[in-house]
Amino acid sequence: AQALSTAPGKYTTSENQTPFAKATHYNNFYEFGTDKSDPARNAHTLKTRPWTVQVTGMVKKPQTLDIDTLLKYRPIESRIYRHRCVEAWSMVIPWDGYSLSEFINYCEPLPSAKYVQFVTLLDKKQMPDLPGGYDWPYSEGLRLDEAMNPLALLAFGCYGQVLPNQNGAPIRIVLPWKYGFKSAKSLVRFHFTDKQPKTTWNEISSQEYGFYSNVNPQVDHPRWTQSRERRIDSSAFPRTIPTQMFNGYADQVASLYNGMNLKRYY
């Protein structure tokens, strides 16, 4: 894969990194199949060049941006984040990108914009295994102040190379304090709005997947506890470890939710 030139970022962890092979062969990217081994097998049909990203909605000037312009817009940092899936497994992954806030500032949202929605590519030609029964394209979103938090990353790579297709090439979001499905992949549109946007999993099953979906060991998923997680590492019997509030990023993000009942806004 193509290497990226990166500088070490300020976010890191001393925890053991998940091996590259596991982080790239255990993916939820339903557009390429619903089994976690499917995307690594099928996502080669994704064409990542040419690639453009649309900026729409409540912005000073709606526009279409080329991926290579975005890639060069700011220096690429390497940040090592914990990644907690809503399915109670977790990884430690070095992502490469820059803060989402830099990009949002570039978009110049209007003062009336309160939310930003991320929309994933939808192309049946590139996604021949697209499963039925879902309201495609995949869509996620954040409150604008969440999106402006420096921890929110606009990623172009991981492990020092451009994103493998199954990990969301050529551009994705990484939100380490939220369950993994919030971190939408292969983005083609950023839509700024004053209403909470519809998000894919929340639409499918709102009692299982909330709009916020902050990692929270006190709020169980209906089918399993969220108080612990299986850390995907290099061993055959990985340890099950306790899950931390906001996935261990409370110092950076807890203030975003002051006064909110997180059992209600899960």
Partner 1 sequence: MSKRTILILKAVVHLICLTPFFWLVRFYTSGALELDPDPVAYITHFTGDWALWILLSSLAVTPVRRLSSRISWLIRFRRLIGLYAFFYASLHLATYIFLFSGYDLPTVLTGVRAGHLSIVLDEWKIVWPTIWDDVLKRRFIQVGFLAWVILLALALTSPASIMRAMGGKAWQRLHRLLYLAGAAAVIHYWWLVKAGVRTPWKVTAVLTVLLLARLGHTVLKQRRGSGPELHTTRI
The dihedral sign for the CA sequence 238, 241, 245, 251? negative
State the minimum distance, in angstroms, from the CB of residue 84 to partner 1.
14
Q: Which residue of 223, 251, 263, 264 would you call a contact of partner 1, by CB under 8 A?
A: 223
Nearest to 11 by CA among 247, 226, 236: 247
State the minimum distance, in angstroms, from the CB of residue 11 to partner 1.
24
Cβ neighbours around 188 below 10 Å, total = 18
Contact between 20 and partner 1 by CB under 8 A: the answer reads: no
Please answer whether residues 246 and 212 qualify as being in contact, where contact means their C-beta atoms are separated by less than 8 angstroms. Answer: no
Counting residues that bind partner 1 (by CB under 8 A) gives 29
Phi-psi region of 254 (alpha: psi -120 to 50; beta: other; left: phi over 0): alpha
At 92, the amino acid letter reads V
Contact between 47 and partner 1 by CB under 8 A: the answer reads: no
Instruction: Give whichever of 103 and 209 is closer to partner 1, judged by the CB atom.
Output: 209
Q: Which residue of 70, 232, 247, 249 would you call a contact of partner 1, by CB under 8 A?
A: 232
Contact between 73 and partner 1 by CB under 8 A: the answer reads: no
Instruction: Give whichever of 52 and 225 is closer to partner 1, judged by the CB atom.
Output: 225
| Alpha-carbon gap, residue 38 to 42, rounded angstroms | 6
Instruction: Give whichever of 7 and 236 is closer to partner 1, judged by the CB atom.
Output: 236
Instruction: Give whichever of 102 and 129 is closer to partner 1, judged by the CB atom.
Output: 129
